[in-house]
Structure 1
Amino acid sequence: MKPLDNVVIVGAGPTGLVLALWLTAQGVKARGPGMQSRALAVQARTLELYRQLGLAEAVVAAGHRNAALNLWTSGTKRATLRFANAGADLTPYPYVLIYPQDRHERLLIARLEDMGVAVERETECLGFEDRGDHVEVQLRLPGGREQRCAAAYVVGCDGARSIVRHQMGTGFPGATYGKFFYVADVQAHGPAACGDIQIALDDADFVAWLAYDDQGRGRLIGVVDDDGADRADTLSFHDVGHRAIAHIGIEVDKVHWFSTYRVHHRVTDRYRTGRAFLAGDAAHVHSPAGGQGMNTGIGDAINLAWKLAAVLRQGAPVALLDSYQAERRAFALRLVETTDRLFQFITAEGRFADFVRTRIAPVVAPLAYGIDDVREYLFRLLSQTLISYRGGPISEGQAGAVQGGDRLPWVHTDDNHAPLCAIAWQVHVYGRARPDLAAWCEAQGMALHRFDFGAAHAAAGLQRDAAYLLRPDSYVGCAVADGSPLRLEAYLDRCIRRSEGQQ
């Protein structure tokens, strides 16, 4: 059989759509039976990765920038945390972008269609078989006819009830929280129905407001009280507690959409089995605290996409694909632990929990946010610019404060992220590039980008005259303090290049 170079993507939420976009941009054919998601917040790191596809500008223009987070208790705004104060020197996108899921997906689908890829919305994956040198995916087409599709790999982006994960036989350990959440898209008015994020911390009667615009359109997310939990499936917006909504100065005029759901926290045992992979909610689910879910799935997709393309199109060793689980599962475990703690904090019951939430947190939060290091850390955590693969199987070296596996720091004085729009390996030097490094890059057909070193580069942790070999997803693969190409050559031989005789 002729080797296959196509990938079947099961699930066409943002994770599956972005995976298809990145694969297509790198010359890999993608096919995708679809499903939907309900994600909302787009974090800075996702926008940086979208920039590589030429998507960031369109997404930012279509969404709404929530520039600050306000904490409320007992009807009074107690603290304001402004994202620009923390992130202006860290990323071109120092805010949380709110972009309704249906509009987000339509934009991604339109971009795929422009690239000649159609999402098969009414096509269902029934299962797959791993044949060793390829997979056969069983599909049910519109009208009920079934079809078998041969592919090099299959990727399950098909949500928490993933058929791909079920067929892989991997576990999905974790638990389900006792409380129900509700979500409602509404038209509202009031002093807080503006362009900021509003959070009420009243006696476990949690509610958050995420603005779609400055004219009172937005999403409310809240906890269903215990009296309503037993009939959560039949509740309407009128049945949920409205005290916390009133306490953040919002009055609802019209409800466009309402739903209730359980919150889970789970991470799969394995992200890969043979030629099958998991990404997004098929691999990990957690509380909505922090707006991390969709962004984590998109991060999965991009991490996997460049590695699949390297194997299928550039002759990289199949072992490179093992680094996908090593990098992304470790992050998912940390994320679930973090969001679990935050969720427990905002929903805990009892007098002591109420006291901490309503009296201590509103005082401590602005004081802590006033400390530069704390403010920067919290923004990095929320924006996912903190994600690092240090110590991972394809991360090497250190130059300055930057180690192999780190996201390339953004330097606003010269926008050193601009060259990353080329989804390819490249070398950055901040200062003087050695002649042998320049010759090596030319021989490899690899772009070398040199920037004049200045105070902003030093503040970002970059080292003068060092060489930073960047992966296609803009993380540092290898950092070499003296700028010598010998370490870069050895790194590529170890991680990326197929040895003689390898299949």
Structure 2
Amino acid sequence: MARTEVLVVGAGPTGLVMALWLDAQGVKVRIIDKSTGPGTTSRATAVHARTLELYRQTGIADAVVAAGHRSSGINMWTGGKRRAHVPFNDFGDTVTPYPFLLIYPQDLHEAFLVERLRERNIEVERQTELVDFTDNGTGVTARLRGPDGHEDTCEAAYLTGCDGARSTVRTVLGASFEGGTYEQRFYVADVEVESDPFDGETSIVFDGPEFMLVMPYGRPGVLRFVGTVRGDRAEASEPLTFDDVGHRSVAALGLTVRTVNWFSTYRVHHRVTERFRHGRAFLLGDAAHVHSPAGGQGMNTGIGDAINLAWKLAAVLKGRAGDDLIDSFEAERPVFARKLVETTDRAFTFVTATGNVAEFIRTRIAPLFVKAAWSVDAVRESMFRVVSQTMIDYPGSPLSAGKAGKVSGGERLPYVRFDGGDNYGPMSGIGWQVHVYGAAQAGLRDWCEAHAVPLHVFDWHAEHGAAGLARDASYLLRPDTYVALADPQGSPANLDRYLGERNIRLAR
């Protein structure tokens, strides 16, 4: 019988990141997938700023950015004319080190993550599927079927279900998956065009009843189309081709498609499971929540699930926290997932609604609204934060405490640039750390040294105050870089109290 600490079921981006983050923290991990290899086609293409910020922790962010394509803005087109332009880089660089939308197709993304695991001597066990498992309260025993049909068992302390919308883990658990399926049928196509007028930016196109999203695909003249199938073909039972879908939007943009490299149609679902934790088994990514492609949030949300859970599992397995630390996963990620489903549902309903009134609002009113809203600094920053997932916070989490300045426990640490530098430089590892802006209180440095917690003291700048940080306060950051404790007193005693109340024991 094989033994491991965490069995990861599913080798999509969520499972691969889970395995990578666990191994980086010294956790023994095994990852299986019933497929023969990484995906060769992709629906998910967007990697958002918050994901890249977290990727810095294992040193892969720069390589991912280099491999992808930076899309620095979004255009809205109606009737063959660009009605609104939303650039990112004129304000996003005050929010994050990554003020752009990165286009990095999921198939390439998966292959990249697989190679990073291989460098750590971890191989994805392909054509290996989960048959069943039992949770005895102290561990999980999983029954697996290998490529030759032979079955064996694996014992693990925990099991993570990262196996997609048709999750076997969720089925074995008998977990709910409430929601539904939109009536609209969508298509996705990767095409080569004679000329690309978008200059590497993403475009939303409304032309009559048609909706189409156009994204760069990382190579000149190659674009991805995502659109609605309209008319009689929407209910066709036979497989469709690119010739079967409406081309009004393509023609309105003046595009000539030379080659269709890939085409597929699909239905969009919106579902969330009731609970993400079931004893020693967990549901993450599409196994826990699926939603419309509006905003390209799905893959990034699954990766966020994995990173949120990975550091908590590692802390418990290393004896540095009680099992109740893992309960905070249930208190944090489902709340965001449900909010995301509601938000993307509203956006999806807007872009796919039929009828003359809906078309008028999309083609006439929406561009004017976007242009007006984008002229307001606070509005465009808020819109960018939503799309980039830099707005995610955990105010109701049992791990969130205190408030210093305008920053509360559970929030993402404000990104601040100053004198050619920024305060995100230290976030290049997975572990607890303390930030002080100004001067550290007496004894804080000794406390951090005694607990093997890095202390980063930044000279006070006006920019820190403008970002909402308090002078001389201490900010204890979790291993996933969210603020755990914001303490205006900067007191070592308050750090001790915070950790003691949560049964968290730091290294040393």
TM-score by length of 2: 0.95
Q: Is the 8 A contact 2:474 2:487 kept in 1?
A: yes
Which stretch of structure 1 is more off in the superposition, 481-490 or 466-475?
A: 481-490
Alignment CA distance shift 1:458-1:189 (3 Å): farther
- 2-side partners of 1:365 and 1:85: how far apart? 16
Give, in angstroms, the shift of residue 249 of structure 1: 3.3
2:480 is the counterpart of 1:481: no
Could you say which residue in structure 2 is the equivalent of 1:44? 49
Could you say which residue in structure 2 is the equivalent of 1:346? 351
2:263 is the counterpart of 1:258: yes
Could you say which residue in structure 1 is the equivalent of 2:12? 13
- 2-side partners of 1:452 and 1:476: how far apart? 19
Could you say which residue in structure 2 is the equivalent of 1:431? 438
Q: Identity of counterpart residues, as a percentage?
A: 56
Give, in angstroms, the shift of residue 391 of structure 1: 2.1
- 2-side partners of 1:284 and 1:258: how far apart? 25
Q: Is the 8 A contact 2:4 2:29 kept in 1?
A: no
Q: Is the 8 A contact 2:415 2:423 kept in 1?
A: yes
Secondary structure of 1:234's aligned partner: coil
2:152 is the counterpart of 1:153: no
- 2-side partners of 1:104 and 1:190: how far apart? 26
2:497 is the counterpart of 1:490: yes
2:208 is the counterpart of 1:189: no
- 2-side partners of 1:253 and 1:460: how far apart? 49
Pick aligned residue for 2:288 from 278, 283, 297: 283
1:269-302 CA distances to partner (integer Å, 9 max, x unpaired)?
0101111001000000000010000000000000
Give, in angstroms, the shift of residue 427 of structure 1: 0.3
| Aligned amino acid, residue 5 of structure 2 | N
Q: Is the 8 A contact 1:5 1:313 kept in 2?
A: no
Pick aligned residue for 1:222 from 211, 223, 227: 227
- 2-side partners of 1:331 and 1:206: how far apart? 27
Could you say which residue in structure 2 is the equivalent of 1:231? 236
- 2-side partners of 1:163 and 1:318: how far apart? 25
Could you say which residue in structure 1 is the equivalent of 2:171? 166
Could you say which residue in structure 2 is the equivalent of 1:88? 93
2:358 is the counterpart of 1:378: no
1:64-118 CA distances to partner (integer Å, 9 max, x unpaired)?
0011100000111101000112311110111110011111111101110101111
Q: Is the 8 A contact 1:193 1:214 kept in 2?
A: no
2:102 is the counterpart of 1:97: yes
- 2-side partners of 1:55 and 1:32: how far apart? 20
Could you say which residue in structure 2 is the equivalent of 1:461? 468
Could you say which residue in structure 2 is the equivalent of 1:501? none
Give, in angstroms, the shift of residue 193 of structure 1: 4.7
Give, in angstroms, the shift of residue 370 of structure 1: 1.1
Structure 1: any 5+ residue segments left out of the alignment? 499-503
2:397 is the counterpart of 1:392: yes
Could you say which residue in structure 2 is the equivalent of 1:213? 218
Which stretch of structure 1 is more off in the superposition, 124-133 or 7-16?
A: 124-133
- 2-side partners of 1:204 and 1:496: how far apart? 57
- 2-side partners of 1:215 and 1:400: how far apart? 47
Give, in angstroms, the shift of residue 192 of structure 1: 2.7
Alignment CA distance shift 1:338-1:408 (3 Å): same
| Aligned amino acid, residue 94 of structure 1 | P
Secondary structure of 1:465's aligned partner: coil
Give, in angstroms, the shift of residue 215 of structure 1: 1.2
1:279-333 CA distances to partner (integer Å, 9 max, x unpaired)?
0000000000100000000000000000000100143110111110110000001
- 2-side partners of 1:292 and 1:271: how far apart? 18
Q: How does 1:105-120 map to 2 (within 5 A)?
A: 105-120=110-125
- 2-side partners of 1:476 and 1:387: how far apart? 12
Give, in angstroms, the shift of residue 248 of structure 1: 2.8
2:75 is the counterpart of 1:76: no
Which stretch of structure 1 is more off in the superposition, 32-41 or 113-122?
A: 32-41
Q: Is the 8 A contact 1:193 1:250 kept in 2?
A: no
| Aligned amino acid, residue 493 of structure 1 | G
2:330 is the counterpart of 1:331: no
- 2-side partners of 1:117 and 1:397: how far apart? 40
- 1-side partners of 2:181 and 2:168: how far apart? 20
- 2-side partners of 1:473 and 1:232: how far apart? 46
2:130 is the counterpart of 1:131: no
Give, in angstroms, the shift of residue 214 of structure 1: 5.6
| Aligned amino acid, residue 195 of structure 2 | G
1:222-256 CA distances to partner (integer Å, 9 max, x unpaired)?
00113112126510111111111222332211111
| Aligned amino acid, residue 388 of structure 1 | D
- 1-side partners of 2:209 and 2:468: how far apart? 41
TM-score by length of 1: 0.96
| Aligned amino acid, residue 470 of structure 1 | L
Q: Is the 8 A contact 1:193 1:216 kept in 2?
A: no
2:408 is the counterpart of 1:409: no
- 1-side partners of 2:256 and 2:136: how far apart? 58
Which stretch of structure 1 is more off in the superposition, 121-130 or 461-470?
A: 121-130
| Aligned amino acid, residue 463 of structure 1 | A
2:471 is the counterpart of 1:472: no
Q: How does 1:360-375 map to 2 (within 5 A)?
A: 360-375=365-380
- 1-side partners of 2:309 and 2:125: how far apart? 21
Q: Is the 8 A contact 1:193 1:215 kept in 2?
A: no
Q: Is the 8 A contact 1:184 1:219 kept in 2?
A: yes
Alignment CA distance shift 1:230-1:45 (3 Å): same
Q: Is the 8 A contact 1:16 1:157 kept in 2?
A: yes
1:434-479 CA distances to partner (integer Å, 9 max, x unpaired)?
1221121111111110001112211221111010000000000010
2:273 is the counterpart of 1:274: no
Secondary structure of 2:328's aligned partner: helix
- 1-side partners of 2:126 and 2:76: how far apart? 40
Secondary structure of 2:31's aligned partner: strand
